[in-house]
Amino acid sequence: MELQKNADWYQYLDECQKELVVVSFSLLNKKEALADLKDYSFIVFSMAKAYEGFLKKVFFDLYLINKETYEGRRFRIGRALNPDIRDNQRDQDWLYDDVAHKFGKEIARQLWDTWLVCRNRVFHYFSDCTQFLSFDEAAERVKMMEEAMQLVTNQLKK
């Protein structure tokens, strides 16, 4: 899998986020050297951090969050983007409806599903040990995040 550094989504990232993306793509190009491992989740980690940064940057650029929130340590994408938050728990940090209004429900849902599959289900440990990722599954997750970011940057250009 080759990183297209001229892609809109990549150009939208800040330098730190770009470095994280490069780590994941570099690991994807080392399949032979990484052979015979049980779990390739580590390939997804850097890209997932970049995806989180990308979403925060989009929310900031759309004025959905302020600078203090963007630079702070309290804001959580997993809570902000979760469409299933109960009505009584929705506050100024819950952004799903704002994202759906800006990009449409389909894109908002795709951003959430990408977060869920590529971050939460990769980072968390479950005792049944079913969360191991094959190399190809890790590559699919990286591609899923790339596609979600490209979708949003296409929308931002309109």
In words, the CATH class of domain 8-156 is: mainly alpha
Cα dihedral 124, 130, 134, 140 sign: negative
pLDDT at residue 121 in the model: 77
pLDDT at 127: 74
Per-domain residue ranges of the chain: 8-156
Q: Could you report the per-residue pLDDT of 8-28, keeping only the tens digit for each?
A: 999 999 999 999 999 999 999
Residue 124 has a pLDDT of 72
Give the mean model confidence (pLDDT) for residues 130-151. Answer: 93
Q: What percent of the chain has pLDDT over 70?
A: 97
Contact 68, 57 (CB under 8 A): no
Q: Which residue has the higher pLDDT, 158 or 23?
A: 23
Per-residue pLDDT tens over the stretch 89-98: 888 889 999 9
Rounded to whole angstroms, the Cα distance separating 134 from 67 reads 38
CB-based contacts of 59: which residues, under 8 Å, 6+ apart?
A: 65, 70, 80, 95, 99
42 Cβ contact partners less than 8 Å away, ≥ 6 residues apart: 27
The band of 129, judged by pLDDT with boundaries at 50, 70 and 90, is low
Asked whether the CA dihedral 75, 17, 54, 149 is positive or negative, the reply is: negative
User: In the chain, pLDDT over 90 holds for what percent of residues?
Assistant: 82
**pLDDT beyond 90 at 120:** no
Mean residue pLDDT across the chain: 93
Q: What DSSP element (H or E) covers 112?
A: helix 105-115
Q: Exposed, middle or buried by CB within 10 Å (0-12, 13-18, 19+), for 7?
A: middle
The position carrying tokens 């630079």 is: 71
